[in-house]
């Protein structure tokens, strides 16, 4: 019986506050130190008891084997819903299942491939701006650049909308939403939005602006005043019926799904892209290998959906970036019933934090876990690794519905950057992780720009020939040794 089991071990912390101050000041260090001392299931004392989970099998137990027993905590859903309403992130049970059935068809790989050109075009516009900056000797902040880019891509894919005239206003509104939610999630005293504090007034103003925009575009679609032959994501969502009931989404449901994409979707991709830019500077050898592959497959034209299967090393590079800097660095869950995990008792109503950040650095699953090694994801080295040792987009039935969209965007944008620029971190610029809803760089990622010189066709052919020659020589040497044996 679970009642006879011991509770998990953990730090004593402050007599009253427990580990609460560590959660607020430096959660990653607080979690990492407790995990190293107490193991894969840690109990933190404080005003709210928190259980930290870092073991891949424990994650599977929660996210797959007992998914209905482990919803989001009520407090999490309440705080997030002030912005995104009752979308996929904040709904539970049968309501969530109905929404997932309605939303998922629009995010399958095949229908999403039509947006590859939108992504490549937006990346090209960003890189043209970088070229002008490079000519003036200016650098960039990769964090702000990627946030602007991913918001533009999402807007164009969702609405076929050119927001260039409204980019600053809309970008600021989305940023205000994110900042407000980040504050709410760690607030000791969480005042409702009806209390007219300066922060609440900014949030409500930004939410109203986004609502007017989204509802206005929904109304245009309802009136059929757009070209339905070139569907955008909003049109696809509006046409997607629940396969069991035939039900279509209401305006409110569409608004909530769109706001979920704006507030959560673009931020996670932007954050990952900014860390990829940082890794390009930190690991030049791996970066040059990815760059060589891009030029071999794509050349100097814009990447397309047809190039994606051939960019094999680049995909490993991106997977390793997601391992080291998972955008969803932790996930909250709450057991509805008493449970036993790893031999320890977990009481109903406990606040569970599933730390993908720590699981991705677990020495039981990863050699040199703090190192950058894209080839750890090749087929041979991945054999035998637990499925839930790597969950950058969560896992199980509630995994990120936009997974295919995010991976395509990451690959196309990263390939585009490699084609045109070398990125170097500004010397002395501090890189400090800021674990909010996503895992941001607290001070941004300031970088200098050097234009890439595309290799000539002759050089690329020569490189391929040299590789084939090396392979042939290796085979001959192997045959010679077998003959000697």
Over range 145-165, report the average pLDDT. Answer: 83
| Full 3-state SS string of the chain | CHHHCCCCCCCCCECCCECHHHHHHCHHHHHHHHHHHHCCEEEECCCCCEEEECCHHHHHHHHHHCHHHCCCCHHHHHHHHHHHCCCCCCCCHHHHHHHHHHHHHHHCHHHHHHHHHHHHHHHHHHHHHHHHHHHCCCCEEHHHHHHHHHHHHHHHHHHCCCCCCCHHHHHHHHHHHHHHHHHHHHCCCCCCCCCCCHHHHHHHHHHHHHHHHHHHHHHHHHCCCCCCCCCCHHHHHHHCCCCCCCCCCCHHHHHHHHHHHHHHHHHHHHHHHHHHHHHHHHCHHHHHHHHHHHHHHCCCCCCCHHHHHHCHHHHHHHHHHHHHCCCCCCEEECCCCCEEECCEEECCCCEEEECHHHHCCCCCCCCCCCCCCHHHHCHHHHCCCCHHHCCECECHHHCCCCHHHHHHHHHHHHHHHHHHEEEEECCCCCCCEEECCCEEECCCCEEEEEECCCCCHHHHHHHHHHHHHHHHHHHHHHHHHHHHC
Query: Of the ranges 195-199, 328-332, 414-418, which is most confident?
Result: 414-418
pLDDT given at position 339: 97
* Residue 390 in this model has a pLDDT that exceeds 50: yes
pLDDT confidence band for 459 (50 / 70 / 90): very low
Residue 138 has pLDDT above 50, yes or no: yes
Residues in the chain: 485
What's the mean pLDDT in 176-199? 86
As a whole number of angstroms, the distance between CA 301 and CA 14 comes to: 59
At 185, the pLDDT band (50, 70, 90 cuts) reads confident
- Checking if the pLDDT of 305 tops 60, the result is yes
pLDDT of residue 187: 76
Q: Which residues contact 394 (CB under 8 A, 6 or more apart)?
A: 63, 328, 331, 356, 400
- pLDDT at residue 461 in the model: 42
User: What percent of the chain has a predicted confidence (pLDDT) above 90?
Assistant: 64
Backbone conformation region of residue 261, classed left if phi is above 0, alpha if psi is from -120 to 50, else beta: alpha
Rounded Cα gap, residues 485 and 481, in angstroms: 6
Predicted confidence at residue 2, as pLDDT, reads 59
Residue 77 in this model has a pLDDT that exceeds 80: yes
Region 105-117 average pLDDT: 89
Q: Is the pLDDT of residue 338 over 80?
A: yes
Phi, psi of 73, rounded to the nearest 5 degrees: -60, 145
Q: What is the pLDDT of residues 430-441, one digit of tens each?
A: 999 998 888 999
Mean of the per-residue pLDDT values for the chain?
88
* 240-274 burial code (b ≥16 CB/10 A, e <16): beeeeeeeebeeebbbbbbbbbbbbbbbbbbbbbb
pLDDT the model gives residue 472: 46
**In degrees rounded to 5, what are phi and psi of residue 395?**
-165, 170
Cβ-in-10-Å burial (0-12, 13-18, 19+) of 438 comes to: buried
Please determine, for residue 453, whether its predicted confidence score (pLDDT) is greater than 50.
yes
Q: What is the pLDDT of residue 355?
A: 96
More confident residue, 302 or 470: 302
How large a percentage of the chain has pLDDT more than 70?
90
Residue 474 pLDDT = 47
What confidence tier does 17 reach under pLDDT thresholds 50, 70, 90? confident
What is the predicted pLDDT for the residue at 165? Answer: 60
Highest mean pLDDT: which of 45-54, 59-68, 223-232, 251-260?
59-68
Q: What are phi and psi of 177, to 5 degrees?
A: -60, -50
Check residues 357 and 400 and name the one with the higher pLDDT: 357
- Write the pLDDT tens digit of every residue in 46-66: 778 899 999 999 999 999 999
Tell me the average pLDDT across 2-22.
Answer: 79
Whether residue 196 has pLDDT greater than 70: yes
Instruction: Quickly count: other Cβ atoms within 10 Å of residue 208's Cβ.
Output: 11
Choose the most confident range, by mean pLDDT, from 165-179, 256-270, 390-404.
390-404
Listed residue (22, 20, 30) closest to 357, CA to CA: 30
Q: Distance between CA atoms of 365 and 389, rounded to whole angstroms?
A: 7
pLDDT, residue 163, reads 61
Is pLDDT of 475 > 50? no
Choose the most confident range, by mean pLDDT, from 114-118, 218-222, 310-314. 310-314
């Amino acid at each position: 019986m679970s009642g006879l089991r011991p509770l998990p071990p953990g730090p004593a912390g402050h007599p009253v506050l427990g580990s609460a101050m560590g959660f607020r000041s430096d959660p990653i260090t607080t979690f990492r130190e407790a995990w190293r001392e107490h193991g894969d299931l840690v109990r933190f004392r404080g005003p709210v008891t928190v259980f930290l989970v870092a073991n891949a099998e424990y994650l599977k137990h929660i996210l797959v084997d007992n998914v209905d027993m482990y919803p989001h905590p009520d407090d999490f859903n309440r705080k997030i819903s002030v912005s995104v309403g009752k979308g996929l992130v904040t709904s539970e049970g049968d309501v969530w299942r109905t929404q997932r059935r309605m939303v998922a068809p629009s995010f399958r790989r095949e229908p999403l491939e039509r947006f590859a050109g939108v992504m490549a075009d937006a990346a090209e516009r960003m890189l043209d701006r970088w070229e002008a900056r490079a000519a003036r000797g200016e650098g960039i902040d990769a964090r702000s650049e990627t946030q602007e880019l991913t918001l533009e891509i999402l807007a164009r894919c969702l609405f076929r909308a050119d927001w260039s005239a409204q980019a600053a206003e809309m970008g600021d509104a989305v940023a205000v939403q994110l900042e407000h939610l980040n504050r709410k999630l760690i607030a000791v005293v969480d005042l409702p939005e009806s209390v007219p504090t300066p922060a609440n007034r900014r949030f409500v103003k930004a939410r109203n602006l986004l609502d007017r925009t989204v509802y206005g575009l929904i109304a245009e679609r309802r009136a059929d005043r757009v070209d339905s032959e070139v569907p955008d994501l909003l049109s696809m969502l509006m046409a997607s019926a629940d396969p069991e009931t035939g039900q279509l989404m209401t305006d409110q449901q569409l608004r909530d799904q769109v706001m979920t994409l704006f507030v959560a979707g673009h931020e996670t991709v932007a954050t990952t892209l900014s860390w990829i830019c940082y890794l390009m500077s930190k690991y030049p050898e791996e970066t040059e290998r990815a760059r060589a592959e891009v030029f071999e497959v794509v050349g100097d034209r814009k990447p397309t959906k047809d190039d994606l299967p051939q960019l094999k090393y680049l995909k490993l590079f991106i997977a390793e970036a997601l391992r080291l800097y998972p955008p969803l660095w932790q996930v909250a869950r709450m057991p509805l019933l008493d449970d036993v995990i790893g031999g320890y008792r977990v009481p109903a109503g406990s606040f569970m934090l599933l730390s993908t950040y720590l699981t991705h650095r677990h020495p039981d699953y990863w050699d040199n876990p703090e190192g950058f090694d894209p080839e750890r994801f090749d087929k041979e080295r991945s054999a035998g690794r637990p499925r839930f040792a790597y969950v950058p987009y969560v896992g199980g039935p509630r995994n990120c519905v936009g997974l295919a969209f995010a991976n395509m965007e990451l690959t196309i944008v990263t390939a585009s950057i490699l084609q045109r620029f070398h990125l170097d971190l500004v010397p002395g610029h501090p890189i400090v992780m800021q674990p909010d809803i996503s895992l941001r760089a607290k001070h941004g990622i300031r970088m200098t720009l050097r234009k890439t010189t595309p290799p000539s066709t002759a050089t690329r052919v020569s490189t391929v020939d040299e590789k084939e020659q090396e392979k042939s020589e290796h085979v001959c040497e192997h045959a010679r040794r077998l003959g000697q044996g």
